[in-house]
């Protein structure tokens, strides 16, 4: 019989943001102990520090051994069996918040691939130990520290994983464009910020956005300049500098992008 496990006395969720419900050292498991099958409504992250066992998720079976770190999702049917001779031991934490699932999925975690990369194990184990040490601490400062630790755990799951979800790196890249278009930024700067080689970044950015990154940056700058032309009394030179374009090239760049000169644009659309 499949049981449904609900985490009692949950903290009030802060929207989709990650929240810690519980963490513990799992060191008292008897040889051959069986847990499940169970369906949870929370995320579980566990690090197996010693011993062996078997994990089943929706019928997919995996062997547990020392040094492995895995995650399970709400709604999954899970089943844990401990080895008869060398029972499993470890540390685990229970999390809530839709953002947790989004990040884990982006890291490649699923019912068919629940394990993080080997280098993740030590990092997550140490962070869970810190969370356990914080038990009993209250106040905004403690909650902020817990949230920071949770994000450290989730970021550790990204180690050694190929992130297929373009939204993560693309969102960062677009944010970099928006925040720095007025400065002397380059495509290389943005590629380095999101962790890609410049040539590779240019290739995948064009695939995602339909234009190369340098073209996107120019279009963004001209878009900002066109608004300043209509909404301020700033001079052409002031506007060109404020959007990161050399004043000597501004009019030519603007016309190439918009089809008319800056002054023609101001006269035509300013009246409207």
Contact predicate 116/67, CB 8 Å: no
Q: What is the mean pLDDT of residues 30-49?
A: 91
Per-residue DSSP letters for 7-40? -TTPPPP-TTS-EEEEEEEE--PPTT-EEEEEEE
Distance CA 15, CA 58 (A): 28
Give the pLDDT confidence of 216-247 residue by residue, as tens digits.
999 999 999 999 999 898 999 999 999 999 99
Give the pLDDT confidence of 84-139 residue by residue, as tens digits.
999 999 999 999 998 899 888 878 888 888 999 888 899 999 999 999 999 888 89
Predicted model pTM: 0.59
The pLDDT assigned to 36 comes to: 82
Tokens of 132: 């356990």
Residue 227 CB contacts under 8 Å (≥ 6 apart), including other chains = none
Q: What is the mean pLDDT of residues 15-23?
A: 86
How large is the angle between the packed helices 166-180 and 213-231, nearest 10 degrees? 40
Residue-range domains of the chain with CATH: 3-156 (2.60.120.280), 165-272 (1.10.10.60)
| pLDDT value at 57 more than 90 | yes
Backbone angles phi, psi at 2, to 5 degrees: -85, 125
């Amino acid at each position: 019989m499949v049981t449904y496990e609900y985490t009692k006395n949950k903290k009030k969720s802060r929207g989709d943001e990650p929240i810690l419900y519980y963490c513990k050292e799992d060191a008292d498991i008897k040889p051959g102990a069986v847990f499940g099958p169970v369906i949870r409504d929370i995320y579980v992250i566990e690090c197996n520090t010693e011993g062996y066992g078997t994990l089943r998720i929706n019928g997919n079976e995996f062997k547990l051994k020392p040094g492995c770190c895995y995650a399970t999702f709400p709604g999954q049917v899970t089943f844990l069996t401990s080895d008869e001779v060398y029972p499993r031991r470890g540390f685990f934490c229970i999390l809530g918040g839709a953002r947790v699932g989004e990040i884990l999925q982006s890291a490649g975690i699923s019912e068919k691939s629940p394990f993080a990369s080997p280098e993740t194990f030590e990092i997550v184990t140490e962070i869970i130990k810190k969370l356990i040490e914080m038990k009993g601490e209250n106040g905004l400062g403690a909650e902020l520290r817990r949230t920071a630790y949770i994000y450290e755990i989730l970021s550790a799951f990204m180690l050694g994983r190929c992130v297929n979800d373009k939204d993560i790196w693309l969102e960062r890249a677009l944010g970099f464009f928006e925040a720095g278009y007025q400065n002397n930024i380059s495509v290389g700067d943005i590629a380095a910020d999101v962790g890609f080689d410049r040539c590779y970044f240019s290739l995948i950015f064009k695939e995602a956005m339909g234009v190369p990154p340098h073209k996107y940056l120019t279009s963004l700058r001209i878009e900002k300049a066109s608004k300043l032309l209509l909404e301020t009394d700033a001079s052409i030179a002031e506007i060109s500098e404020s959007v990161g374009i050399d004043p000597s090239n501004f009019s030519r760049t603007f016309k190439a992008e918009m089809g008319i000169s800056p002054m023609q644009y101001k006269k035509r659309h300013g009246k409207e």
